[in-house]
Structure 1
Amino acid sequence: MRATLIERPQKRPGNPRFSSGPCAKRPGFRLDGLRGAPLGRSHRSDIGREKLRTALDQSREILGIPDSHRIAILPGSDTGAFEAAMWNLLGPRPLEVLVWDEFGARWAEDAAQQLGLEPEIRRVPYGDIVDLAAVNWDRDVCFTWNGTASGVRIPESAEIPAGRGGLVLCDATSAAFAMDLPWERLDAVTFSWQKVLGGEAAHGMLVLSPRAVARLESHRPRWPVPRLFRLTRDGHLIDGIFRDETINTPSMLCVEDYLQALCWAREIGGLPALVARAEGNARTVWEFCESRDWIENLARDSATRSTTSVCLRLVDARIRDSRAFVQNLTARLESEGVAFDIGAYRHAPPGLRIWCGATVEKADVEALLPWIEWAYESEIAALR
């Protein structure tokens, strides 16, 4: 391993924002581009309803969501949307929760401790993924498609049975708009605006299949459902929630920003272009790691590597306190103004997490990587 300090890089990322949420705004974003927001107007007004309907319709178009599925805007970001799905849908069947990062662990905890269910929890360490072939799809199943905190995603080769008996609840907040999702095999899918499209926080999306709607209208949960989560009334779906009547008041400024992000996505080529941008960014990081012996992808199986939240770990025997080393490294990068918020999630193993979603420019990823190597070499030199 090299012991000499490399030269300080000269080229800097044009946008040093690599946070995994809220994520970088889309290229060309300007605040004055949001002047069309109906500020000070009711979301129940004609223009408010029109904006909300457009957000739902364009989300369906870009993501390729079948016409048979219902879409709603919910409060509380992806967390609120997924909690709403759990509180309303779970109970009639046995449950499995698949855990390979912090957020899957939260759903397992809520199912067991808040809802009082007795789920079978399939849990693996960070960097691994559960054996999907062992999952009983005749049970209800909850999982994250892409582990934001672990950088581990469902592999493309995975198949969810069409003839499954249970419902599939999928937290797709770091996957929607960056990965192809098999909508016909998923029954409740959630995501937020603040991830791949770089929207503002606090708003979540819930997509329900016909099977999920049938469950909603035939099942009454045995626990109280908070008002912000209620999707039915008197045994029937509250249809307005899935058109233009949100459960609570949305930020029309955030709605406008989301609409502008959807417009940008459509202009660059829709979902295929979004997927390609994320994959290109991630591949740039992977190739950097493959040519160095001190850093590697946290995902052990290359087929499960995330293309959005790329999580890395340092593999250098000279580093005795990995967490302190990473804190110093990321602080050095932030002080240089070349990378903000790229430390691993607080409950994950110490390392780096570089957001590579579609709003990130590949040139910025390419400019960032020499700085990471420089910061690493600088911190190694400081150990001596």
Structure 2
Amino acid sequence: MTPEVKPQNPNFSSGPCSKRPGYDLQKLNTETLGRSHRAAVGKAALKKAIDDTKTLLDLPEDYLVGIVPASDTGAMEMALWNLLGPKPVDVCAWESFGKEWLTDITKQLKLDNVRTFEAGYGELPDLSQTNPDHDIVFTWNGTTSGVKVPDGDWIKDDRQGLTICDATSAVFAMPMPWEKLDVITFSWQKVLGGEGAHGVLILSPRAVARLESYQPSWPLPKIFRLTKAGKLINGIFEGATINTPSMLCVADYQDALDWVEAIGGTDKAIEKSEANLAVLSKFVTDTPWIDFLAQSPETRSNTSVCFSLKLDDYETKQFIKLLADAGVAYDIGAYRDAPAGLRIWCGSTVEASDLTALLPWLDWAYAQVAR
């Protein structure tokens, strides 16, 4: 039978992600709109977003936070093009974006001394095999595979290389060992449901030291430049962005940061996301036709939760379409490069009550399409 109760919020996309509960566009602080981002009011708004990010994430005092162009992709590209070259590079890739960074490193930057640690969708490579004397590039959470790094124990405290971490769907949702990470990137539109086109770049003192002591042999476009005359451009980390940002997006991000603070901070946001995963975990335990793509519980993402179904590709497409047409779940198909299945966002901006309401609809859709 068709379920009677629908999720109040059917937005389960893995990026851009659902807006926070109670979000109201009319309540954004729009005093910066129509003003220069370089005016005092614009710089103050950008600086507040930077400072609040650092405070809420409890970053080390000497880490720097900057707002950069082009989402997490721009932040990662900026890190790779500025920092890689002086040391061998270990690249860990187990899903689409990690493989993109591998392509950049080997085919665009054309670095020769590169080791690759790869795994298929749903699996994690043996990270302990990475060399602490090398630079290490990896994603913390594989958004397209539903596989996360369980901890940072494999990263050496006395490492000589830099750890460059794409953490776009992990920041604000998973505990992060900041002292083990030298470069961290993320985007607003993932865990916090912010608007797109802006990235966040976090640098440790070791990363800054590399920037100021190493000049890449390749040209860097203006939008990537983090140094001038061999010194870090400090303004990027104080609210003076490289190019013109959307101040409406900045106001939207600030709204999300204020919400995280209001619910009790990042720890509470993490708890909320983990509780959401628990709702789906029980359903998988009780349901024979669905399983996690990530088989190992300790590497199972609590944000971009990926599933395999006992359906063929055509049936899976029909399953997803039925739920969207019914207005109960939008954008839950697996990423285009991943195996056919589902991907349901469980970050803190999603309510457990909506996930609970979704579950009978999943059973209903399966009954409609299974042969």
Q: Which residue of 2 aligns with 1:352?
A: 342
Q: TM-score when scaled to structure 2?
A: 0.98
Conserved 8 A contact 1:37-1:256 = no
Match of 2:282 in 1: 287
Task: State the distance in 1 between where 2:283 and 2:327 align.
Answer: 21
Within a 5 Å distance, the mapping from 1:164-203 to structure 2 comes to 164-203=159-198
Report the counterpart of residue 201 of structure 2 in structure 1: 206
Change (3 A) 1:202 1:37: farther
Instruction: Supply the distance in 2 between the matched residues of 1:276 and 1:77 (Cα, whole angstroms).
Output: 26
Deviates more, 1:330-339 or 1:36-45: 36-45
Deviations 1:191-237, CA, capped at 9 Å, x for gaps: 00001111000100000000000000000001111211100011100
For residues 105 and 152 of structure 2, the distance between their equivalents in structure 1, rounded to whole angstroms, comes to: 28
Measured in 2, the distance between the counterparts of 1:190 and 1:333 equals 33
Distance (Å, rounded) in 2 between the aligned partners of 1:138 and 1:373: 50
Q: Is the Cα contact below 8 Å between 2:308 and 2:340 reproduced in 1?
A: yes
Deviation at 1:279? 0.3
Q: With structure 1 as the length reference, what TM-score do the two structures score? A: 0.95
* CA gap 1:324/1:37 in 2 versus in 1, 3 angstroms: farther
CA distance in 1, matches of 2:237, 2:135: 23
Query: Gaps spanning 5+ residues in structure 1: where?
Result: 1-6
Structure 2 stretches of 5 or more lacking a match? none
Counterpart CA distance in 2 for 1:62 and 1:97 is 29
Question: Is 2:56 the partner of 1:62?
Answer: yes
Partner secondary structure for residue 157 of structure 2: coil
Instruction: State which of 251, 274, 277 in structure 1 corresponds to 2:269.
Output: 274
Does 2:80 correspond to 1:80? no
Counterpart for residue 15 of structure 2:
21
Find the counterpart in structure 1 of residue 145 from structure 2.
Answer: 150
Report % sequence identity: 52
1:108 pairs with 2:102: yes
Query: In structure 1, what residue type is equivalent to 2:58?
Result: G
* CA distance in structure 1 between the partners assigned to 2:27 and 2:63 by the alignment: 31
Letter in 1 for 2:367: E
Does 2:257 correspond to 1:265? no
Partner Cα separation in structure 2 for residue 324 and residue 210 of structure 1 = 51
Are the counterparts in 2 of residues 37 and 252 from structure 1 also a CA contact under 8 Å? no
Cα distance 1:376–1:158, how it changes in 2: closer, same or farther (>3 A)? farther
Q: CA deviation at 1:35?
A: 4.2
Residues 37, 202 of structure 1: CA spacing in aligned structure 2 closer, same or farther, 3 A cutoff? farther
Distance in 1 separating the partners of 2:95 and 2:363: 27
* 1:32 corresponding residue in structure 2: 26
Which residue of 25, 42, 50 maps to 1:48? 42
Determine which of 215, 223, 226 is the counterpart of 2:210.
215
Question: Does residue 137 of structure 1 match 2:132?
Answer: yes
After TM superposition, give the deviation of residue 36 of structure 1 in Å. 2.9
Deviation at 1:158, TM superposition (A): 3.6
- Tell me if the contact between 1:156 and 1:303 (Cα under 8 Å) persists in the aligned partners: no
- Match of residue 373 from structure 1: 363
Q: Distance in 2 between matches of 1:157 and 1:173?
A: 16
Q: For the Cα contact (< 8 Å) 1:174–1:309, is it kept in 2?
A: yes
State which of 344, 352, 369 in structure 2 corresponds to 1:362: 352
Deviates more, 1:150-159 or 1:86-95: 150-159
Cα distance in 2 for partners of 1:287, 1:137 equals 39
Matched with 1:4 is none
Q: Partner amino acid for 1:303?
A: E
Task: Work out whether residues 37 and 253 of structure 1, in 8 Å CA contact, stay in contact via their aligned partners in 2.
Answer: no
What SS is found at the alignment partner of 1:73? strand
Q: Could you tell me how far apart the structure 2 residues matched to 1:235 and 1:157 are?
A: 31
Post-superposition shift, 1:135? 1.2
Separation of aligned partners in 2, 1:139 and 1:290:
41
The alignment status of 1:96 with 2:90, answered yes or no, reads: yes
Does the Cα contact within 8 Å between 2:276 and 2:302 map onto a contact in 1?
A: yes
Report if the CA contact (8 A) 1:39-1:253 is conserved.
yes
SS in 2 for 1:19: coil
Maintained 8 Å contact 2:37/2:43:
yes
Q: 2:291 matched to which residue of 1?
A: 296
The CA distance in 1 between the partners of 2:29 and 2:45, in whole Å, is 13
Q: In the alignment, what sits opposite 2:119?
A: 124
SS at match of 2:354: helix
Aligned residue in 2 for 1:307: 302
1:75/1:203 contact within 8 Å kept: yes
Matched residue, 1:234: 229
1:236 maps to a residue whose letter is K
| Aligned counterpart, 2:314 | 324
Number of residues of Structure 1 aligned to a counterpart in Structure 2: 370
Report if the CA contact (8 A) 2:152-2:177 is conserved: no
Equivalent residue, structure 2, for 1:3? none
Distance 2:12 2:167 in 1: 19
Aligned to 2:158: 163
Q: 2-side partners of 1:357 and 1:37: how far apart? A: 29
